[in-house]
Structure formats: C-alpha cells, structure tokens
Amino acid sequence: MSYHGGVVIIASWNVNSIRARLEHVTTWLKSRQPDVLLLQELKGTEFPADAFRDLGYEAVAVTQKAYNGVAILSRSPIKTVSTALMGDEADSHARFLETEVNHIRIVNIYLPNGNPPGSENFAYKLAWMDRLERRMRAWRTSEIPVLIGGDFNVIPEDIDCHKPASWIHDALFQPEPRGRFRTMLGLGYTDAFRTLHPTEAGQFTFWDYFRQAFSHNRGIRIDHFLLSPPLAVKLVSCVIDKGPRALEKPSDHTPIVVELDL
C-alpha cells in the first residue's frame, strides 16, 4: 500500500501487557485494519511478532522486563530511527520508538506516569517531557512530516476528564506537565482529536479498573496524536474506539484512531 494519494489509518493503544491482551489486539487489527498501530505498556521482554506477521504486519518492539515497552506494527516497511529518547544516557526505560514509515516520522511514546506529584517519579516525568520537547523542536526543521502518538499520561485540559476535582492531586493533571503539553502545541503541533472535536466533553481513552469507572464514563483523555503542520492539514478524522474497553479482561485504555489523507 502506498501512502501517496491515499488515506492512511494510524492507531494507538496502551494494552497493559501484550501477553494478557494478545487476543484483543489481533481481533481488533482484523476488524479495523489500520495501516499502523502504536502499542504501549507491553510489560515484558517477549513480543509476539509472529502473531502480527501472520496478519500482515511488520513489527518493531522496544521491551524490558515487567514494565513499560512500546512497539510499532505496520503494513508498510518500518525503518527504525531511534529506540531511546535523547538527552539522558542513564535512562533505560523502554518508552520511546522513533521510526520512518512511508516518509512519515512516526514516534511512539509511553510518557512516564509521574505519580505522586513532587516525587522522584514526577521529576523524571518533567525531565522526560523536556527531552521530548527538545526533539520536537529539532524535528520541525527537517523535511519529513511528524506524527507523535501514544500514552502521554497528561490530561491536557479540564474538558479531558469527567471531574477535575477528582484529579487535582494526580500527576497527570498537574500544571507542570499540562504546561509542557501546551508548549508542544505552541511549537506548531496539532492535537488531532481536540482539533476536530473542540468542545466535545466526555471523550476519554482511559478509565480506572476501580468502582465501575468505565460504565459511569469516569475517565480521562491521555492518549494523543500530535501532528506537525504538513500532516495537520491532511487530518480527516480522529476517533476513540471504546469497543475494546467493554470486553472481558480489557486494558484500562482503549484505542484512538487517526485518519490522514495524504
């Protein structure tokens, strides 16, 4: 499939263990047939590349034991550009994968959660965002268009959670990460979902497992696609597919799907 003159579908899904969610992911791939799927929270060193190859997807995965882990599946060849976020040689978390697929820079991120606020985890999150911002500045000057997708672990605005009061003590809602997210938009990147649905409340990508959060739609929008200007003008649709969150044994996140007419 060529991206020239066609519609490309790119999806992102934090699966909370690829081993526990393999059936969900393969079933979803067969029904939705995205060109590219970004996965986060693989949670283990084993990655079932064969299962995806059988469905026509090439895969590149960055994994570690027990935690984190990101992968990109694609029906077109993937050129791996970087498997780590520049700026801290000591950072060994599997949270970043930069690739080139059909002349688009596709970057998959699993941004640190950072809870609780004020902790070492929180400082790591902010530093990680600063490092990402530096890359995003650098990418602006290159020819190739950029899509950054994944679990940002940031609730951008009050409209992106069911009730701000219940998130004010959470790292995902603090002014510092939210400010950094706004800075990224200020660099010229477009939040694909919010741009197409500027006032739509109750649109979430994550719901806690506790207290029937999903059935009450008490969630947050933390999985995002950011597009550089040449891709933003080709944005056709961006939707959240709540289907997989309603299945038995779901991930706490559900897929977000963006459509670009290139």
Partner DNA sequence: ATGTCAGTCGTAGACTGA
Tell me how far, at minimum, the Cβ of 221 lies from DNA, in Å. Answer: 15
- C-beta atoms surrounding 81 within 10 Å: 13
249 near DNA (CB under 7 A): yes
> For the window 69-88, what string marks contact with DNA as x by the rule CB under 7 A?
--------------------
Using CB under 7 A, which of 12, 16, 102, 254 touches DNA?
Answer: 16
115 near DNA (CB under 7 A): yes
140 near DNA (CB under 7 A): no
Map the footprint of DNA across residues 176-215, applying CB under 7 A: 208-211
Strand residues in 41-118 grouped as ranges (E): 58-62, 70-74, 78-82, 96-101, 104-110
Using CB under 7 A, which of 29, 34, 43, 117 touches DNA?
Answer: 43
* Nearer to DNA among residue 28 and residue 139 (C-beta): 28
Q: Find the helix packing angle between 175-186 and 120-140, rounded to 10°.
A: 0
* Nearer to DNA among residue 68 and residue 228 (C-beta): 68
Distance between CA atoms of residues 225 and 222, nearest Å: 10
63 near DNA (CB under 7 A): no
Tell me how far, at minimum, the Cβ of 36 lies from DNA, in Å. Answer: 23
26 near DNA (CB under 7 A): no
- For residue 150, CA distances in Å to 31, 55, 73, 258 come to 21, 22, 13, 12
Q: Please list, in sequence order, all residues whose beta carbon lies within 8 angstroms of the beta carbon of residue 250, skipping any fewer than 6 positions away.
A: 24, 214, 244
Binding span for DNA by CB under 7 A among 2-10, 41-49, 173-181, 196-204: 41-49
* Nearer to DNA among residue 4 and residue 249 (C-beta): 249
No. of helices (H) and no. of strands (E), the chain = 6, 14
* Nearer to DNA among residue 43 and residue 75 (C-beta): 43
3 near DNA (CB under 7 A): no
Using CB under 7 A, which of 6, 7, 19, 118 touches DNA?
Answer: 19
Selection from 168, 156, 137, 129 nearest residue 221 by Cα? 156
Question: In the numeric block, which tokens belong to residue 84?
Answer: 């780590």
What ranges in 35-87 are assigned the alpha helix state H?
49-53
Tell me how far, at minimum, the Cβ of 141 lies from DNA, in Å. Answer: 32
Torsion of CA 59, 109, 7, 260, to 10 degrees: -170
Q: What letter represents residue 78's amino acid?
A: I
Selection from 125, 151, 139 nearest residue 225 by Cα? 151
Tell me how far, at minimum, the Cβ of 192 lies from DNA, in Å. Answer: 22
Q: Note the residues at the interface with DNA (CB under 7 A).
A: 16-17, 19-20, 43-45, 65-68, 112-113, 115, 121, 208-211, 249
